[in-house]
Amino acid sequence: MYIPPPMKMDNQQQVFDLIEQFSFGVIVSNIEGLEASHLPFMLDRGHGNKGRLLCHFAKANPQWKDLAEREVLVVFSGPHSYISPSWYANYPAVPTWNYSAVHVKGMVKISSKQDTAQLVKNMSAKYEPDLLDKHDIMSPEVIDKLSGAIVGLSIEISEIQGKFKLGQHRKIDDQQGVFKALSESDHNDAQQLARYMAALGMGLGKV
């Protein structure tokens, strides 16, 4: 990923936060040609030197079959939005797109059935904690059956690249104009980008 120095995420906490907040990623492999799958991921921050990613494939998805001990790329996209040059105070200017993204590279290990079942429970606990107590909906028998139809993967992280292109290279009045326009937009993606900027201290205000 091309990252100009001012746009590089040097703070690993920010990188991990983006992965956990926007955890639906794309896993890309190149074994016998390029393949990609869109999957939810769990981040284990404390594993090894750089952490690991956990995910699961449908067993019917052929991409996972040759991934053991292979390197993959996982891409996470954070908030993004169109930026109009009319929002700037300084001209001339051109349209652009502001965004944040993280690329993760790592080696794949196939998880055991037991670890895969635990991953399903951990994902449920993250997104809908009460579901684990509703055994009429998701019983242990259902979890066990599901675990037989999926394949869990553990990705040992070897390299992480983080980028936020949020207009931080522009003059302060240009940044203020962009933040104001995003905050007042009717589009959810624009509002989400404004909230993300504010959380990073780049928003010059609150949404």
- 74-86 burial, b at 16+ Cβ within 10 Å, e below that, comes to bbbebbbbebeee
Q: Assign a CATH topology to domain 5-199.
A: Pnp Oxidase; Chain A (2.30.110)
In 59-113, where do the E strands start and end? 71-83, 96-110
Q: For 46-97, write each residue's pLDDT tens digit.
A: 998 899 999 999 999 999 999 999 999 999 999 999 999 999 999 999 999 9
- Digit-coded pLDDT (tens) for 14-50: 999 999 999 999 999 999 899 999 999 999 999 988 9
| Residues 151 and 175: beta-carbon distance below 8 Å | no
Enclosing H/E stretch for 125: helix 113-127
Which pTM does this prediction carry?
0.93
Q: Are 108 and 63 in contact, with CB atoms under 8 Å apart?
A: no
**Euclidean distance between CA atoms 44 and 33, whole angstroms:** 29
Tokens 């799958």 appear where? 37
The whole-angstrom separation of Cα 13 and Cα 207 is: 23
The whole-angstrom distance between residue 22's C-alpha and the CA centroid of its chain comes to 4
